[in-house]
Structure 1
Amino acid sequence: MSRNFDRRQLLRGASLIGGGLALNAFMPAWAKSVSPGLVRPLPTLSGPDVQLTIDHMMMTIDGRPSHAVGVNGTVPAPLIRLKEGQNVRLSVTNNLDEDSSIHWHGLILPFHMDGVPGVSFPGIKPRSTFVYEFPVVQAGTYWYHSHSGLQEQMGHYGPIVIDPAGADPVAYDREHVILLSDHSPMHPHSLFRKLKQQGGYFNYQKQSLAGLLKGEDQSLKERAAWGAMRMDPTDISDVTGATYTYLVNGHGPKDNWTALFRPGERVRLRVINASAMTNFNVRIPGLPLTIVQADGQNVQPVTVDEFQIAVAETYDLIVTPTEDRAYTLVGEAIDRSGMARATLAPREGMAAEVPALRKRPLATMKDMGMDMSGMDHGAMGHDMSGGAAAGAMAGMDHSAMGHDMSGGAMAGMDHSAMGHEMSGGASAGAAAGGMSHSMRDPKNAPQVKMGPGVQTISPMAIDRTGEPGQGLGDVGHKVLVYRDLVALDRNPDLRAPSRAMEIHLTGNMERYMWSFDGRKLSEVTAPIPFTRGERVRVTLVNDTMMNHPIHLHGHFFELVTGHGDHAPRKHTVNVMPGGKVTFDLTADAPGDWAFHCHMLYHMHAGMFNVVTVRPLAGEAA
């Protein structure tokens, strides 16, 4: 092979300008392509009989080999394409030396076909085959994954597309599945052990002395207040780009997975977040995104510039690129420690500029469930004219928080003095000044079992469904919020709820303990009971400083966001830190169903319960 440059090829590369390989030299190192672009459609299976085999395999990410658990020799697993109204038989063979399973995420089916070991079936033993069989009663974008151990982290996941029985209300010329995920060369059990050993183990974006001297991030007073509480405002993600590579359809950012289009086409992108622990911020610089479906359910089209997709959610969107050039699809991790990247292009071998990672976000007092923006501060006796008092945690019972404050910045403060001036700091600390509530006051949540697994109870959790995802409040363009979602069709059940219940999402970051109402799965004595057909209003309250995407198997629910009989229907909802979400549920599926946080290590650590739906006394099952 000649060492001389091919002049024509060099000129051709340079002429691609905004959509060509010449841009490779100007991209950040982690995004520079190993290949000129992979135009590689996902392998697809369809029909009434589908054969799947779970096994160990090697996969190549950004030119490097990595061990994985795949299905039919691929990561992600093959795209399963079905038709609404058909019956399907899925024969799943487990070639691992341990039990495995497949859960059909978001599908409505008999509970014994749901695929959760210990809840709906025994699991699939090593070197054995289990046959799932059920009618396909819906359409939309869904996915499937292991519900055994931590296999999902190792690559055991894949997409599902179900075409509608009739005309599709969404018009498009071509489509692409965009499956986002996270992959680490570290074995998931080792990864989990490190999380248990040290809080913030993978957080390499902590605040520094240099940042303080430059006036970046928090002031000294704010840092002292957060330090006294033993809390870190940079702790946005448990697992980060320090160990993760973020993937699109199994390929890293250097691989440059590419989806093709013709200028002027309406392109449908079916975006699935199949990651273990990462919420992604998705955008395509230069293209507006029209959201047409959420969690497989059609919504009235809403156009945005960016959206945050939580773990286990799906969003379908339409883009219409009119220029004959490449566009970069950006899936930026919520803590901005890394990025999944793909390219939309009219031809193979093209690339567009990859934007730099944005500044990482910081948690605020609102994320701690201490938002006082709507309170009458004048009645509290504080002079708050200068906005914030960064460290004003006066009036709180810090000893009840479980922290040793003896050496902290709060020592020696006169907490009884409520007339102090709060003009010198930042709004983060003012939220807590004069608060009479304790961060662990059981009166705020009497149903919560207080113990070492409950670090805080949010004193002022608020509905945050009208806010963009964490860190997206000041990006300068339109970001999707849950309240933007309006169902395309009228909801099937318009009855008012007959009862209400509240469930607290609890945890202790330092000990890496996660639970519902202070009880991890091993401490749960009974499932959450529902009577078949009853209508219940459920409020989820996040008492922690982490996001929790909560998934209910076997059901859809309607978010209570002010849209009446066109409330958006979902199977997974992200509850922001210090926030709460309310939904109405019709318990119409008899059986036992998993209910859990879809952050894999949160679920593994105990944020898991079972919902049981039973017929009325004397009613046939």
Structure 2
Amino acid sequence: MTGNSVNRRGFLRKGAFVAAAAGLNLALPPWARGGLASSLEGMRPQLGNIFDLNVDQALCTIDGREGAGVLVNGQLPAPLLRWREGDTVTMRVTNNLASDTSIHWHGILLPFQMDGVPRVTFPGIKPGETFVYEFPLQQAGTYWYHSHSGLQEQRGHYGPLIIDPKGSDPDSVEREYVVLLSDWTFEDPHRVFAKLKKMSDNYNFQQRTVGEFYRDSRTRGLKNTFDERLMWGEMRMNAADIADVTGSTYTYLINGHGPQDNWTGLFSPGERVRLRFINASAMSIFNVRIPGLPLNVVQADGLPVNPVEVDEFQIGIAETFDVVVEPKNQAYTLMAESNDRYGYARGTLSPQEGLSADIPQLRPRPTLTMKDMAMDHGEMNHVAMNHKPMGHGEMNHASMDHEQMDHGKTDAMEMDHSAMNHGGMDHAAMGHEPNNAGSTQEHKHAKGPGVVGLAMNPVNRLGERPLGLEDVAHRVLVYTDLQSREKNPDSRSPQRELELHLTSNMERYMWSFDGLKFSEVDEPITLYKDERVRLTMVNDTMMPHPIHLHGMFFDVVTNDGDFKPRKHTIVVKPGEKMSVDITADAVGDWAFHCHLLYHMHAGMMRVVSVVDRPKLA
């Protein structure tokens, strides 16, 4: 980060300074050692219990081009804070902007008044004011922090955060690096949002082509290919709509460095290296691999998991994964490819400065499938998608109660489920049955202008590889590979179940939960202190959504055991129905939202209130 200081390339040319810094680097303990790029560009950890953080407008240089950012202490990313479990930390945050700001400590367990969400947990930090955050540290692991005000996060207001365990670290290695991934645009973020509202695929220049049509016709047959294209067109959906904001405006960064900068982490032959991956992007999901080097995943969202060796993993926005690698005496390319294959962030792991490895070519752009539409090819007849009234032979009679259904309104092409009498449907047959026989399920079917349709056949996809990685020959991490290294702290069965729909009108760029944007919701989602609740999420949209709950971890329901992976953020795939179990052990108001920044800005957010259970009279 240059800020008001010297350009990074000029910085690296200061030979004497580099030599001195390298000598100092060798004197650091293993966990604090870094290569030249990270050591000289603001990624040295700041240690202690009291920190002064100043939020300013400042210039930064990305791949040789200068732009304006909202930065903490003049750095991109913000300073790396290193805390210790059991300590109490104090952060004095001063706002030097002309508008309000805030800092949310992502994934940190703390009093809700310290969570840093304006209009939910505190008023925000006014221009010229200093707000003091203070809280004890109840956990260890890899986390991060960022603004929760407006679109400041897109402009660089984010930074890494590590909490060392108060005892020995079972994942201790000879060297480690923070690898903070992010996306940067030289456009004003509000202009980006305005463009999306006018045309949701404004940044997508990877539309399907005539050449693809002929290619698919050869492999799938002309009629099937034509029918499939017709179906997408009639629903006004785009099978190539993978990401809202793409490499047409984004530069993808590692620790504030663009691909041309080539962030480099040095190691000595024979060392084990721990890479703490953090996805601090506004809108970008990355597929991460280091060709020729197996990745041993040891932590997810800051919490230890049983080690699992893979060759590639997808990291959703706001997720963190700790990976241990054992590089040989050669250079490796660290490749973080955007999930729409429009661009990449890249760096190098190397035994010495100046070396690099081949950069893999971007792989072909994937396309969405019937499964991403939550449709079952075996049950959906293409004729039923052709603006004709649905015939009885084209309906799944087993899944519907015909006595209560208004058949005059079942125009399949409109995909408007609000036209059906849902009260008369057999929800168990439609996949809406409670996941726990002893729980009480609460849910509402979404409808309104913010909902173009509901998933007809949502399924659990936790064990599926992400889009575009289904057929790669190497090992790919899926959520069902993750198993908590420690027994879940609460093994009770859920006492009740809530169902929440992830909804959208993509054409109008409307994003919501249960068809209502944040400003339209009068009541929070209420949980009672210490109750065990199963939250089932149904993604009725065509996009993956990284869903984040503040203040609490949740257990991802991958099995019936006591070692479910515990996370604070999870990517819900298109057409997916999945569940997490929550122990409501943190009284207060907590934000719950999609971590795609422009989706949250558009309204895909709620408040979860944990309150004491009312006493019986």
TM-score range, shorter chain: 0.7 to 0.9
The one-letter code of the counterpart of 2:366 is P
1:480 aligned residue (477, 482, 485): 477
Distance in 1 between the 2:572 and 2:355 partners?
38
Shift of 1:148: 0.1
Q: Secondary structure at the match of 2:259?
A: coil
Shift of 1:167: 1.1
Distance in 2 between the 1:40 and 1:541 partners?
45
Distance in 2 between the 1:528 and 1:364 partners?
33
Distance in 1 between the 2:596 and 2:476 partners?
23
- Given that 1:38 and 1:255 are in contact with CA atoms closer than 8 Å, whether structure 2 keeps it comes out as no
CA gap of 1:414–1:449, structure 2 versus 1, over 3 A, is closer
> Paired residue for 1:464?
461
CA gap of 1:544–1:284, structure 2 versus 1, over 3 A, is same
1:4-403 equivalence runs, <5 A:
40=40, 42-215=43-216, 219-322=225-328, 324-372=329-377, 377=378, 392-395=381-384
- Given that 1:594 and 1:609 are in contact with CA atoms closer than 8 Å, whether structure 2 keeps it comes out as yes
1:387-421 CA-partner distances (Å, limit 9, x unpaired): xx9xx43335xxxxxxxxxxxxx2569856659xx
- Given that 1:54 and 1:94 are in contact with CA atoms closer than 8 Å, whether structure 2 keeps it comes out as yes
Distance in 2 between the 1:418 and 1:411 partners?
13
1:546-593 CA-partner distances (Å, limit 9, x unpaired): 110000000001000016111110000110000122111000000000
The one-letter code of the counterpart of 1:200 is D
2:517 aligned residue (517, 520, 532): 520
The one-letter code of the counterpart of 1:518 is G
Distance in 2 between the 1:234 and 1:118 partners?
37
1:131-150 CA-partner distances (Å, limit 9, x unpaired): 00000110000000000000
Distance in 1 between the 2:481 and 2:500 partners?
25
Q: Secondary structure at the match of 1:348?
A: coil
Q: Provide the TM-score with structure 1 as the length reference.
A: 0.84
Confirm whether residue 504 of structure 1 aligns to residue 491 of structure 2.
no
- Given that 1:85 and 1:165 are in contact with CA atoms closer than 8 Å, whether structure 2 keeps it comes out as yes
1:57-114 CA-partner distances (Å, limit 9, x unpaired): 1111111111111100001000000000000000000100000000000000000000
Shift of 1:210: 3.2
- Given that 1:499 and 1:535 are in contact with CA atoms closer than 8 Å, whether structure 2 keeps it comes out as yes
- Given that 2:279 and 2:318 are in contact with CA atoms closer than 8 Å, whether structure 1 keeps it comes out as yes
Q: Secondary structure at the match of 1:564?
A: coil
Confirm whether residue 535 of structure 1 aligns to residue 532 of structure 2.
yes
The one-letter code of the counterpart of 2:343 is G
Q: Secondary structure at the match of 2:142?
A: strand
The one-letter code of the counterpart of 2:262 is N
Q: Secondary structure at the match of 1:321?
A: coil
The one-letter code of the counterpart of 1:80 is L
- Given that 2:549 and 2:590 are in contact with CA atoms closer than 8 Å, whether structure 1 keeps it comes out as yes
- Given that 1:438 and 1:459 are in contact with CA atoms closer than 8 Å, whether structure 2 keeps it comes out as no
The unaligned stretches of length 5 or more in structure 1 are 1-35, 381-388, 397-409, 420-433
Distance in 1 between the 2:120 and 2:394 partners?
52
The one-letter code of the counterpart of 2:452 is Q
- Given that 2:388 and 2:413 are in contact with CA atoms closer than 8 Å, whether structure 1 keeps it comes out as no
Shift of 1:241: 0.4
RMSD value over aligned CA atoms? 2.1
Distance in 2 between the 1:477 and 1:254 partners?
28
The one-letter code of the counterpart of 2:373 is M
- Given that 2:390 and 2:412 are in contact with CA atoms closer than 8 Å, whether structure 1 keeps it comes out as no
CA gap of 1:413–1:451, structure 2 versus 1, over 3 A, is closer
- Given that 2:204 and 2:241 are in contact with CA atoms closer than 8 Å, whether structure 1 keeps it comes out as yes
Shift of 1:38: 7.3
CA gap of 1:435–1:138, structure 2 versus 1, over 3 A, is farther
Distance in 1 between the 2:472 and 2:364 partners?
11
The one-letter code of the counterpart of 1:508 is N
Distance in 2 between the 1:333 and 1:261 partners?
26
- Given that 2:227 and 2:382 are in contact with CA atoms closer than 8 Å, whether structure 1 keeps it comes out as no
> Paired residue for 2:403?
none
Shift of 1:45: 1.6
The one-letter code of the counterpart of 1:306 is E
1:180-237 CA-partner distances (Å, limit 9, x unpaired): 0000011000000000001211000001223324448983332122111111100000
Confirm whether residue 440 of structure 1 aligns to residue 416 of structure 2.
yes
The unaligned stretches of length 5 or more in structure 2 are 1-35, 396-409, 433-442
Shift of 1:476: 1.3
Q: Secondary structure at the match of 1:461?
A: coil
Distance in 1 between the 2:303 and 2:239 partners?
35
- Given that 2:498 and 2:533 are in contact with CA atoms closer than 8 Å, whether structure 1 keeps it comes out as yes
- Given that 2:38 and 2:255 are in contact with CA atoms closer than 8 Å, whether structure 1 keeps it comes out as no
Distance in 2 between the 1:37 and 1:208 partners?
41
Q: Secondary structure at the match of 1:565?
A: coil
Aligned residues: 540
1:352-391 CA-partner distances (Å, limit 9, x unpaired): 100000001100010011135xxxx5xx7xxxxxxxx9xx
Distance in 1 between the 2:345 and 2:40 partners?
16
1:20-65 CA-partner distances (Å, limit 9, x unpaired): xxxxxxxxxxxxxxxx977645042221110000001111111111
Identity level (%): 56
Q: Secondary structure at the match of 1:195?
A: helix
